[in-house]
Amino acid sequence: MKINGTFPGFDISAQGLSIQRKRMNLIAENIANADVTRTSDGQPYKRKFLEIVAKQNPFPNNLPADTPTLSLEVNNGAHISNTEIPQNVTGGNAGAFIDKEMTDQKPGDIVYQPDSPNADSKGYVQESNVNIVTEMVDMISASRSYEANLTALNTSKQMVKDSLGI
């Protein structure tokens, strides 16, 4: 969601709103499918979540050529990884974050339900790996983050409005 390239505060808040809306939609989908033991592929429903990563240096590098630079020295390569960032950038090139929908591969609980049509030959059913309590905590977090981004957007809007009144 791009609002206006002239005011970067609007773009950052709008991207935050968009990301939190995506998080809330995934959480709602998880809650709705928490009891699904068989999907179309024959497996129990797997929890979905949004992985959010800050882009590498979202600001333009327009420093003068004679500006000294500092390099980061690492004594253990495992401390800072040089992983590649996925190319599905949300919000265009102006966005400061990358979001990617992921699936939690952790297996769900196995319960004994011999009368279930989804039971295996021993009478056990593997349930979804969705934990309602975790999802509700994540929903509250996403909702509060959405509200914070909305407040930041309204504050930016009010500052622009006040500056036009000068």
The pLDDT tens digits of the residues spanning 35-86 come to 998 888 888 999 999 988 877 654 555 566 666 666 666 666 665 554 443 4
CA dihedral (93, 95, 101, 105) in degrees, to 10, reads 100
d(CA 16, CA 149) in angstroms, rounded, equals: 6
**Least confident residue range of 3-12, 103-112, 150-159:** 3-12
Give all strands (DSSP E) within the chain, no chain letters.
48-54, 97-103, 110-112, 124-126
pTM listed for this prediction: 0.68
Instruction: Answer with the residue of higher pLDDT: 147 or 14.
Output: 147
| Cα torsion 10, 156, 96, 141: sign | negative
**Region 11-19 average pLDDT:** 89
